[in-house]
Copies of this chain bind each other. A is one copy, B any other.
């Protein structure tokens, strides 16, 4: 049944992925997962997942940022941020302070320990960026980031 004539039940020797590889979404997702895999590995020593790093990095560069601003920026939902911030407080990385002009809100700030951790973590991130980026030339790197931003920073006219 599989020797001479076209097999009624074919099998696959090598998987043809050419169609999927022609789709932007598929490629972007695969690339993101590839980088995140390395990220998970190297940030493990700091006890930080990618989302932890993103949140702490935003607090680092935006002292006093509120939970609401973090959620809007990172596309997270408020209930899912609460536990993260609580953990950061338990680890003495982040402090909640009353917002100077809005009694409902809490401003988020790094502690001294938080600053120290993020100095190391951002250095590691820079090394990772250099290693991953080494798969591309410097110009390609710049181009890639520019094109990716054109994809997701498009101002939606329809919605």
Contact = CB atoms under 8 A, between A and B. Distances in A.
Contact of A148 (B1, B31, B54, B60): B31
A36 B32 contact: no
Contacts of A58: 15, 17, 20
Measured as residues with beta carbon below 8 angstroms from the partner, the interface class of chain A is 35 or more
Given A10-B63, A30-B152, A62-B12, A23 B100 contact: no
A80 interface: no
A148 B154 contact: no
Nearest to A154: B135
A145 B24 contact: yes
A44 interface: no
A29 interface: yes
Given A10-B63, A62-B15, A63-B10, A35 B30 contact: no
B64 A10 contact: yes
Interface of A: 1-2, 7, 9-12, 15-36, 39, 50, 54, 57-58, 60-66, 69, 72-73, 75, 97-102, 107, 109, 122, 125, 129, 132-133, 135-136, 140-141, 143-145, 147-152, 154
